[in-house]
Chains A and B, each alone.
Chain A
Amino acid sequence: AQKVTQAQTEISVVEKEDVTLDCVYETRDTTYYLFWYKQPPSGELVFLIRRNSFDEQNEISGRYSWNFQKSTSSFNFTITASQVVDSAVYFCALRGIYNQGGKLIFGQGTELSVKP
């Protein structure tokens, strides 16, 4: 079975603080993809990043960075110097290649609130 766990339901920080959103996954697939999506208050789902299981390099995009560790089955997301506009619900998702037809399995989401 495939599963994504985002243990942090809600996080509240003050602007300019760094914040890390945790994501732990389970899969029997040897080839799989991991994703992060952002859902701002307006409701749409915005794609942030995709990572395949063969690439464990960390990635940085501006204030965003991602730490993928296969040894701990984690794909954590860090926002540096958070801003009010970062307030949103963030979803981690997993997509296996062979099991379950490649369905995208979402975690329950972490609601981030950045206060001025």
Chain B
Amino acid sequence: DAGVIQSPRHEVTEMGQEVTLRCKPISGHDYLFWYRQTMMRGLELLIYFNNNVPIDDSGMPEDRFSAKMPNASFSTLKIQPSEPRDSAVYFCASSLLQRETQYFGPGTRLLVL
């Protein structure tokens, strides 16, 4: 079975540019999570969806960040405009139920110059 798929794996962009990260959850999973990993803050939850509906976006750092899930097999995390402090690894994860194990994608390593 395919795991969580993320693209791109690496992204280098300049400050002020729009960045879009993509995620395809495991088929059949109805929870999708976006995390950010930095040296300073570790792994932190940004937002999660249940059945394509955003449930908790309290971890989204600023209005520059937005996330959508137009259907059960696709989600995007967008940063507009990007800033150097957004440089991090962004992970997408999915789970079958809220209490079940979250399986992570390979991550997108973002560098904003």
Question: A residues bordering B, Cβ < 8 Å?
Answer: 33, 35, 37, 43-47, 50, 91, 95, 97, 101-104, 106-109
Contacts and interface: CB of A to CB of B under 8 A. Distances in A.
Interface of B: 33, 42-45, 48, 55-56, 89, 91, 93, 98-99, 101-107, 109
B45 A104 contact: yes
Given A43-B89, A91-B43, A97-B98, 19 more contacts: A35-B101, A43-B106, A43-B107, A44-B106, A45-B91, A45-B93, A47-B101, A47-B102, A47-B103, A50-B101, A97-B99, A101-B98, A102-B98, A102-B99, A103-B48, A104-B33, A104-B93, A106-B43, A108-B42
Contacts, number: 45
A93 to B, nearest CB: 8
Contacts of A46: 104
Contacts of B91: 45
Nearest to B105: A44
